[in-house]
Each structure stands twice: as structure tokens, then as C-alpha cells.
Amino acid sequence: MRCLSIADTFRKIGKDCTFVLADTSMQETISARKYKTVILDSDYQFMDEETEKLKSVIKNMNPEMVIIDSYFVTKRYLESVKSMVRLIYIDDLGAFAYPADILINYNAYSSDIDYKNMYFEESVSYPEVFLGVKYAPIRECFKNIPTKIQNQRCRNILISTGGSDLIHLAVDFVRFMKGNKDTVDYHLLVGGMNPDKEEIYHLAGEIPNLHIHFNVADMKTLISSCDLAVTAAGSTMYEISACGVPMITYIVADNQIPGAEAFEKMGMSVSCGDFRREQGPGKKIYEGIEELAKNYEQRVNMGKRMQRFVDGRGADRIVGELIG
């Protein structure tokens, strides 16, 4: 999705983009946005096995640059591509010294990764680096959102549980809400692969202040209409930040830990901790909401910081740097 945001920005300045994919799992989504796709018929977890196929594609297309976005790249893979074309790599992990011409890490914790020392120790040429949340390539609709005016009382709460919700957070929260007499309106985002959809919809019918949202077309409007949001510490944090909605985060994967910690350190969120080891996460979320909802000054300051750091222009900055 972040590559689609970057591609949309390239398109605005007349640059064509083609997505080279391991398999067809995202082809429909990308084609719906009118982008060309090339399918390598490879296993995305073993990228070295697709190197020759990719090199053939690069040779035939002769692109200005190649942007690679994968957690499974190897040094050999990147070296092969870099030998043919200007190479940009999007990083989240700081796993090793990536052979690239340009390295992008827009995460809030990017400044904590000692790239210079890493490249020095591995004797790899140091690339040009674009670091920090100002480069977060979120969707166009989250650009230039007006400053959020925080309500004294939180009346609408957004809760996002991801596409698959493997820890069953959504249904646990709904079960907890069933016996609660709260009058606040809760907006629960239910992902397409949520295993508990049937029970969630059944229970929600008995809770008048609980609203279930599925396949939301206008996420910006939904987020902006809320006074507080709860989300896993992933890419959704940046969209919520652009809207200036005070935020509570939780962790369900190892790669979310540094993001949750960095956002909290910057005063842009409050973390509820790691829910993989939490019994009854629904109650934990409710308690986190109660605590932040009653602290108006904290929410005002948080909203200001969020919109100051994330203005939705990250993809513009990336493309501007790449063609500058």
C-alpha cells in the first residue's frame, strides 16, 4: 500500500510505474488502480531464487529506478539489482547494510538505528538516506487535513483490529462491551479475514452504541469523526496521526514494538503493551480508553504533535527527492 502511495505521486508528474510481484495475491488491487503488473511466479520468502527473472524484467523495461519493498531481501539480491539500475530500498528493520543508492526508513524509530556504523562495519557503501516520519508515504486523502479540534468529552471511539485479528481482539472487546452500560459510541473496524465475524455481528446487535465497519471506503472521514483511536502499532498509526486523533496502540508482532515505543516517546500515542501475552485484551483496551479520555490536556498536546510530525506529504517528499 505504501508503494501505491508513492506510485500515485509519480503518476501526478507523468511518470509510469510498474509493479513487479512474486505472485498474484495483490495483482487485483494494483490493477484496479490502473498500474501495470509483472508476475515473477516466485516465492516472496526466497527472493534469491527470483533474481534472474527480475534482472530480465529490468533489462527489458530499462527503468529509471527500481524501488524494492520486502522484508526478505538479501545482500546478494540487492547487489544484483544495484549493478543494473538506480536502486531505492524501503526499510523497517535495520537488519543489515543494504546495498542501495538510496535508503528510506520513515518509521518513528528510524533515528535509533545506527546505519552509519552498520555500513562501516560491513564495508558497504553508505547510501543517501531519507529518515523520519515526514517521509511516511500514506494515502493522498490524508494530506493537508485541518488541525483537529479536540472535544472535551470523547463521544466517538475508533477501534482497529487489523485484517485477520489473530488474537481475537475484536470479539473479546465486543464480549466485554455486552455487559457495559457506557453511552459512548464505539466504531469497530472488522477486517475481511477476521475469524470471528459471525459472533461479532450477532453480539453487536445487542449493543446499541457499538457500530461495526467493514470494507470502509472513506477511512479519512471515519478516523476524523472520532475523538480517540485504538490501533495496532503498524502503518495505521501514521494515518491516524495525520488526522490528529489521540491514539492508543497495542502490539501483536515483534516488528511493532519499536514503533509503539517511539510513538509513545514522542508523545504521539499511549501504548497498552503486548497483547500476545495479555489475557482479556478487550478489558485492557477499555481501561486505556478511559484513562486517556479523561485527560483532555494530554489529548490536545498529542493531537498537535501528531499533525506536526505527520502531514500526509511523505510520498511527495520521497518522489521530490528521487527526481530532484
pLDDT in tens, 88-106: 999 999 999 999 999 999 9
Instruction: Give pLDDT, residue 193.
Output: 83
pLDDT at position 283 over 80? yes
Could you tell me whether strands 65-68 and 156-160 are parallel, antiparallel, or unpaired per DSSP bridges?
unpaired
pLDDT in tens, 209-236: 999 998 888 999 999 999 999 999 988 9
Burial class (CB in 10 A: 0-12, 13-18, 19+), 217: exposed
Instruction: Give pLDDT, residue 192.
Output: 79
DSSP 8-47: HHHHHTT---EEEESSSTTHHHHHHTT-EEEE----TT-G
C-alpha span between 78 and 89 (Å, rounded): 9
pLDDT in tens, 27-86: 999 999 999 999 999 999 999 999 999 999 999 999 999 999 999 999 999 999 999 999
Q: How confident is the model at residue 277 (pLDDT cuts 50, 70, 90)?
A: confident
pLDDT at position 138 over 90? yes
Instruction: Give pLDDT, residue 170.
Output: 92
- Average model confidence (pLDDT) for the chain? 94
pLDDT at position 278 over 80? no
C-alpha span between 162 and 231 (Å, rounded): 8
Burial class (CB in 10 A: 0-12, 13-18, 19+), 110: buried
Contact (CB, 8 A) for 74 and 89: no
C-alpha span between 148 and 229 (Å, rounded): 13
Contact (CB, 8 A) for 321 and 130: yes
Contact (CB, 8 A) for 5 and 67: no
Burial class (CB in 10 A: 0-12, 13-18, 19+), 127: buried
- Where is 103: in which H helix or E strand? strand 102-105
Show the cell assigned to 30.
494494483
Among 88, 78, 77, 132, residue whose Cα is nearest residue 110: 132
- Section 127-136 average pLDDT: 96
Rg of the chain, C-alpha, whole Å? 21
pLDDT at position 181 over 80? no
- Section 263-280 average pLDDT: 90
